[in-house]
Structure 1
Amino acid sequence: MSGFWSWFIITLVVLNIAGCAWLLWWTAKRRPGDPAPEQTSHYWDGDITEYNKPLPKWWINLFWLTIIFAIGYLAWYPGLGNFAGYGGWTSAGQHDADVAAAEARMAPVFARFQGRSIDDLANEPDAVALGRSVFGNFCATCHGSDARGARGFPNLADGSWNWGGTPDQILTSILDGREGVMAPMGAVLGSEQAITEAVVYTQSLSGRRVDPQLAAAGRSRFMVCAACHGVDGTGNPALGAPDLTDGVWTYGGDFDSIRHSIVHGRHGQMPAHGPIIGETRARLVGAYLWSLGQDTPARE
């Protein structure tokens, strides 16, 4: 926070406290020259008039105690601009302390899974169940509670892996994250006809029924894509280039979706979760995903 805004907040807080104290002092008792109750001409319910019901002393003292408490609170805890308070408390420090305490409580639960391979953990029901729980907390926002993803977020339960589906590759994806970039190829292909042919040929790679003449013409167009996806379209896990023959489409396999991918490109990023959940939890999540992908055919 800049010095200006720090002093602005300090001034605002001090003025508010001082204003409350002044208002309490000013209204706590009658002043010389105040009219008598019967002289105000303000009556309610017949016999209730102004100035005849002053606040009890204990009530006024409670207001003063509230002001004193507020001053003490602002001295001990942060609340006056950049002043950190004499107590040294911060929300970040409290968060870190709570996390450390929770980690200490959970350490025995995760200890027996530490360092074990994903495929080994996948054979243990307790590990898979724990991995599903961790997945639900940290991964379901993007990939869905059932790990089947959504448009733009890969299905992790179908056995199709853009970056490779070995235990080590899955663990690397979770720990370090991935960034997939599909370059826009509209300008490279040049014409709308060429783009259409490339789209139709791409659809044909997964066995779809398409116009055979457009698909045949698109084969040569596809050569600009072969550097990443391979001549046969089966992809390249080292680059995260998807297999275009398995019928699995992260952004949709209809004509318009594929056309958009080719013309405008795509950019997807999987954030690194190693710093967030640690290696043992990452292994458990990997075991859960590995168990989902076994003997599961790729879906159209």
Structure 2
Amino acid sequence: MTTGWSLFVIFLVALNIAGCAWLLWWTSKRRGDEARNNAETTGHVWDGDLTEYNKPLPRWWIILFWLTIVFSIGYLAWYPGMGNFAGTSGWTSAKEHDADKSEADARLADAFGRFDAMPIDDIARHDDALAFGARLFQNHCAQCHGSDARGAKGFPNLTDGDWLWGGSPDQILASIVQGRQAAMPPLAAAIGGDVGVTEVATYVQSLAGIKADPALAEAGKAKFAGVCAACHGVDGKGNAILGAPNLTDDTWLYGGDFATISEGIRNGRNGMMPAHGPIIGDTRSRLVGAYVWSISHRDADEPPDAP
């Protein structure tokens, strides 16, 4: 706050306190028999003899108001409230926040500390750790992957065995801590425009075992080998290092219909998972990773619990 604004705030506070004090003095100066005998009226009369008077406030009420003013002056001297004046106590909301955060961090460290640096597949053997991980997942991951972790269009299903970046404990942890950036560039111009997109999309469907036009698929095969194989491999089985998906199974992140595949080839895709290491720290990332690893290693017919 600039000096000018600080002085303006101090002036307003002082003016309000002085105004309240003057108002109390003015309303309490007429007392005793004279005040009672010569009290002013408001001019309101009911039923002929019921008159509304304008009398001073009761003394006990005025004393309470004076005590309030004294308290406000003491409060403003002790706590910051007068512009840039910091108060004699040295209290700040930032210090209060830091103290509360330190206390909360100490409690969390006591609860999570035993899992520090532990591999996530080992953490997954502890029921209490999985409970912690499930709640952290709901707070930080369910917005994209769903409360049941089955994902949605553009957001991977975490309960199956299909992984873009690898499903080992270390790979899952790396995805959580560091985040992932998956980018597929628009390829229409590189493979011959709309005709090339149609041919390659048909070939991709044939790789997944979807019935497709043999002639178009054969034409798309050469274009796929020249452009798409750099990421997805010549056999279309993908590359976990690049996050390039396996195109030969029936798992699709955006959809396996012809229109969706064509759209991805023509316009590209840009999927991003933010790094959660800076947000929740290493140990809590491990707890989330343990939960994700555990639900992906259940029986395929057993749905994960949504806490």
Q: TM-score category by the smaller chain? A: 0.7 to 0.9
Answer with 269-278 or 167-176: which moved more: 269-278
The whole-number CA distance in structure 1 between the counterparts of 2:249 and 2:81 is 58
Letter in 1 for 2:112: F
- Are residues 1:116 and 2:113 paired? no
Matches within 5 A, 1:28-39: 28-29=26-27, 37-38=40-41
- Are residues 1:15 and 2:12 paired? yes
1:239 CA displacement: 1.5
Cα-to-partner distance string for 1:11-49 (whole Å, 9 max, x where unaligned): 3574266246426634742899xx9745x5444677343
1:85 CA displacement: 4.7
User: 1:248 matched to which residue of 2?
Assistant: 251
Q: What secondary structure, in the 3-state scheme, does the structure 2 residue paired with 1:112 have? A: helix
The whole-number CA distance in structure 2 between the counterparts of 1:81 and 1:185 is 60
Q: What secondary structure, in the 3-state scheme, does the structure 2 residue paired with 1:187 have? A: coil
Q: What secondary structure, in the 3-state scheme, does the structure 2 residue paired with 1:209 have? A: coil
Do the aligned partners of 1:164 and 1:237 also contact (CA within 8 Å) in 2? Answer: yes
The whole-number CA distance in structure 2 between the counterparts of 1:90 and 1:36 is 49
Do the aligned partners of 1:200 and 1:218 also contact (CA within 8 Å) in 2? Answer: yes
User: 1:150 matched to which residue of 2?
Assistant: 152
The whole-number CA distance in structure 2 between the counterparts of 1:225 and 1:138 is 34
The whole-number CA distance in structure 2 between the counterparts of 1:242 and 1:49 is 85
The whole-number CA distance in structure 1 between the counterparts of 2:179 and 2:85 is 39
Do the aligned partners of 1:17 and 1:67 also contact (CA within 8 Å) in 2? Answer: no
1:173 CA displacement: 1.3
Do the aligned partners of 1:21 and 1:64 also contact (CA within 8 Å) in 2? Answer: no
Matches within 5 A, 1:175-186: 175-186=177-188
Task: Show structure 1 runs of 5+ residues with no match.
Answer: none
Q: What secondary structure, in the 3-state scheme, does the structure 2 residue paired with 1:225 have? A: helix
Distance change >3 Å, CA 210–CA 63, structure 1 → 2: farther
**Pairing partner for 1:167 from 169, 180, 200:** 169
**Pairing partner for 2:195 from 193, 196, 212:** 193
Cα-to-partner distance string for 1:216-244 (whole Å, 9 max, x where unaligned): 33223323222222222222111122222
**Pairing partner for 1:291 from 282, 286, 294:** 294
User: 1:215 matched to which residue of 2?
Assistant: 217
The whole-number CA distance in structure 1 between the counterparts of 2:259 and 2:248 is 18
1:72 CA displacement: 4.6
Distance change >3 Å, CA 68–CA 217, structure 1 → 2: farther
Distance change >3 Å, CA 43–CA 136, structure 1 → 2: same
1:142 CA displacement: 2.3
Letter in 2 for 1:227: A
Letter in 2 for 1:209: K
Distance change >3 Å, CA 16–CA 91, structure 1 → 2: closer
The whole-number CA distance in structure 2 between the counterparts of 1:147 and 1:278 is 21
- Are residues 1:278 and 2:275 paired? no
User: 1:133 matched to which residue of 2?
Assistant: 135
The whole-number CA distance in structure 1 between the counterparts of 2:28 and 2:91 is 43
- Are residues 1:98 and 2:95 paired? no
User: 2:304 matched to which residue of 1?
Assistant: none
RMSD value, Cα: 3.4
Distance change >3 Å, CA 144–CA 9, structure 1 → 2: farther
Larger radius of gyration: 2
Do the aligned partners of 1:236 and 1:243 also contact (CA within 8 Å) in 2? Answer: yes
- Equivalenced residue count is 291
Cα-to-partner distance string for 1:134-176 (whole Å, 9 max, x where unaligned): 2223222222222222333222111222111111111111122
The whole-number CA distance in structure 2 between the counterparts of 1:82 and 1:178 is 45
Matches within 5 A, 1:48-67: 48-49=51-52, 51-52=54-55, 54-67=56-69
Q: What secondary structure, in the 3-state scheme, does the structure 1 residue paired with 2:244 have? A: coil
The whole-number CA distance in structure 1 between the counterparts of 2:119 and 2:283 is 10
Distance change >3 Å, CA 110–CA 197, structure 1 → 2: same
Q: Give percent identity, aligned residues only.
A: 55
Q: Could you tell me the TM-score, scaled by structure 1's length? A: 0.78
1:182 CA displacement: 2.0
